[in-house]
Structure 1
């Protein structure tokens, strides 16, 4: 339940002691509660081993300092790929409850988060917030009603697709319709619902930083008494590997070209975070601000990212694909300079921010939990289990596990307490060390991958022990976060219990939304710009 309804202004005399304590818990005094400003920064494809405080060779002084002074989230989970993470962040619902349980939203797909599902921005706006977005959308735009300014944001400056060029802000994409193949290319940079035509040559991390700083300055100078919600999903550090050369020079010691350029991209992003938080401080907002920093999925090892020592990478159901870099920094935290080992998920931000904002969530169907007491006070997480996903469209693998109640051929994963169960084909399950820090005393094999620029790179991978027909894995993830010891043969009863949990979740799932691509999305039909194409 929310703390207050919007039209109810309690006085100290009518507060129960419990409600009084709730007000104190979010950082205000009884009778003088002030909604906090919210700065939510999302990095793209930022791996576990790509931040300094996890021991990376990449320098991230701003992130390290903010995390050290705040609360590091050590058991925080996102989704393996972009659109599902962003949809769950913005709605508080599992992707099985929005129809986005398969893949990402592709550029020419008429798809998006359902319009009857309110977003964080919708809810915060109704609670009195000024709501602004700068950066990557990637949860649908085929009709204007799916655009950010129709989904609760007062302003939007950024791009709609999942990736693009950092300097030209253009994206090309190949689609196939029967025997027809077509390459669609267009500009993808927008201010609200209008294309931005004059920023070619400006690096997007710096462009978005400048715009975010402008949002803060204009909010303060307008004299608005509204709290500010700034959602900043950066393009960094997703491929393509592009960055101004001055950020790369400090990494000459990294011999792998992709890793070296990626490191420069991370440094530029770290500088962006430093500049944005400095702007909040300079304009007097910081003392009442909650900063959340999160990746959207694990690092892409084919494009310079790294998740060592976790198993797997972007796109997989292993920890390397989903265990996310994340932290919270705020003067409103009761306990800071700590690390939380409590189970948290990206869907938890929705109800947590609603709690902080005093927003009324009555009637909403949410899968997330309010975890503010866990983050701020160090209390146990209300979340005891987590559905990672159930994807019925992924090609089935192996044979059904006997007596399980859920078809183990289906790609899925669930966490209950200390146990994690994976079924179907979980994706790449190897342990990839940083390219320049290979322990040659350990056994690994070199595996060839096709790089996005059509060159070939070799990525060292520690051997994964797996039969072609295996489709069930069980781990005590608390004791074995590296997922080295599969316990499915040892504890078949635990496997069956967790399969029953998957069966339960599957019974609540809505049909998958994954329509075919539409050639009417071609930017050539819309002035050379990626934009809504259906009336």
Structure 2
């Protein structure tokens, strides 16, 4: 054996020992709420997002990255790695007065990270059901929770309709009544990081409330845009994003201050769906929140970490990635653990794609099939196929995306501050099938359904297969009597009532 061989073996063993002795990476997942595709500086926003721009610019920007068009489905797929047809959450968002939640037999990303030896923390918006105690975050794998359970509330009073909604773990938290939520969440995250032993792995999930309605923000954040943005909703929205951007900067600085945890941390940023078209915007993408057009589902996303390969830092990835991919990516790829015990996953491990720039294993995304959302009309030439095109559904395979069950009239909404002109969608002519080449036509201007008929039929067949795998929709009627905070036994607070 040559000396070079011996040296190589020693280095190999030493390197392995070094890797084994290194603490596993901390993971911070930040989710913004209703932030439009355009509403970040590096996508052309008129208002500044210096922290997001810097983190994304030094990391990997995910520019072929998709979420779901509304809140609950995105959050459910993020936490479980499974399409919503598997969990019964195909229809709408979960309302606070419905006896339903993320199914209790689903294994969450927090469950797996805790199993892997991580401390697990959540700060922010839940929106995955609250009707019984087992639905709450600290029963779904999180060691700690500070935030609210419903889908939206006042940023200062933390009230929604007739009830208060703010908790620390499973108990009501009154100390922040009157304090702006983005500031509360940032400080809580900073405290968690500052108090954490950097040698112990941590998973911190921060689903911010901002910039979801209602549009509220301390004036110091919106005042800089007076005279530049004249639309009041847009002005307040800009301030809300600016405040959140500052908050993320504070969180990043806390990482650097605690024994430089930053060098062993992976930060993931994602919006949960497209902008609502009121304050938030998605220009030049078509459609908005609630839509299967790109403006509803194509998300702001990036990964920032010193652990990324040098070759990919500061790069743009156009590999196909979906929100369901985060569970296997984080659990298997980053934490080095396993997904044993989960139900069959739809997500795939994208860590090598993100870290090294390799090709994505994903070639297809089922956005949804919602049998409770059915359009009137015959669907023109597409009757008689295996899938009923009146049902609201969408799927992407390769470059091609098929949408069914929509009138297809959503247009292109320009931000009020951009000096651009909004364009209405085409007039509804009875067509319920839409096919787009997303790579060649990201603005979805050319419907190819009646031109590329073989592709259309193939994707309809794929939808039929997925439909056959779907569990029944679990969207029960509301129970306004028992859920009412005034009478549910929780003292005027939204919370478990079943």
What range is the shorter-chain TM-score in? over 0.9
> C-alpha distance in 2, partners of 1:484/1:155?
46
> C-alpha distance in 1, partners of 2:301/2:338?
26
| Structure-2 residue corresponding to 1:92 | 81
| Structure-2 residue corresponding to 1:197 | 174
**Offset from partner CA, 1:46-89 (integer Å, 9 cap, x none):** 00110000011010000000000000000100000000000000
Tell whether the 8 Å contact from 1:398 to 1:468 is kept in structure 2 after alignment.
no
| Structure-2 residue corresponding to 1:3 | none
> 1:219 offset after TM fit, Å?
1.7
Q: Normalising by structure 1, what TM-score? A: 0.87
The 3 A distance-change label for structure 1 pair 426 and 167 is: farther
| Structure-1 residue corresponding to 2:6 | none
| Structure-2 residue corresponding to 1:446 | none
Matches within 5 A, 1:6-405: 30-172=19-161, 185-220=162-197, 225-252=199-226, 253-283=228-258, 284-302=260-278, 304-334=279-309, 335-355=312-332, 356-364=334-342, 365-400=344-379, 401-405=382-386
> 1:397 offset after TM fit, Å?
3.6
Tell whether the 8 Å contact from 2:409 to 2:425 is kept in structure 1 after alignment.
no
- SS of the equivalent of 1:124 reads helix
Matches within 5 A, 1:426-465: 429-439=410-420, 461-465=422-426
> C-alpha distance in 2, partners of 1:105/1:333?
36
The Cα RMSD (Å) is: 1.7
> 1:426 offset after TM fit, Å?
6.3
Tell whether the 8 Å contact from 2:222 to 2:236 is kept in structure 1 after alignment.
yes
| Structure 1 gaps, min length 5 | 1-16, 173-184, 441-460
The 3 A distance-change label for structure 1 pair 29 and 339 is: farther
| Structure-1 residue corresponding to 2:449 | 488
**Offset from partner CA, 1:352-389 (integer Å, 9 cap, x none):** 01112122213531000000111111111100000011
> C-alpha distance in 2, partners of 1:198/1:29?
45
1:414 to 395, 398, 403: 395
**Offset from partner CA, 1:476-509 (integer Å, 9 cap, x none):** 1110000001111111111000001101111110
- SS of the equivalent of 1:324 reads coil
Q: Normalising by structure 2, what TM-score? A: 0.93
Aligned residues: 476
> C-alpha distance in 1, partners of 2:211/2:365?
27
- SS of the equivalent of 1:523 reads coil
**Offset from partner CA, 1:189-243 (integer Å, 9 cap, x none):** 00011111132211000011111111112223xxx74201110000010000000
Q: Does residue 512 of the first structure (1) align with residue 473 of the second (2)?
A: yes
1:523 to 467, 485, 488: 485
> C-alpha distance in 1, partners of 2:112/2:193?
20
Tell whether the 8 Å contact from 1:404 to 1:497 is kept in structure 2 after alignment.
no
Tell whether the 8 Å contact from 1:313 to 1:428 is kept in structure 2 after alignment.
no
| Structure-2 residue corresponding to 1:180 | none
| Structure 2 gaps, min length 5 | 1-8
> C-alpha distance in 2, partners of 1:164/1:76?
28
> 1:256 offset after TM fit, Å?
0.9
> C-alpha distance in 2, partners of 1:503/1:33?
47
> C-alpha distance in 2, partners of 1:341/1:352?
17
| Structure-2 residue corresponding to 1:499 | 460
> C-alpha distance in 2, partners of 1:427/1:366?
31
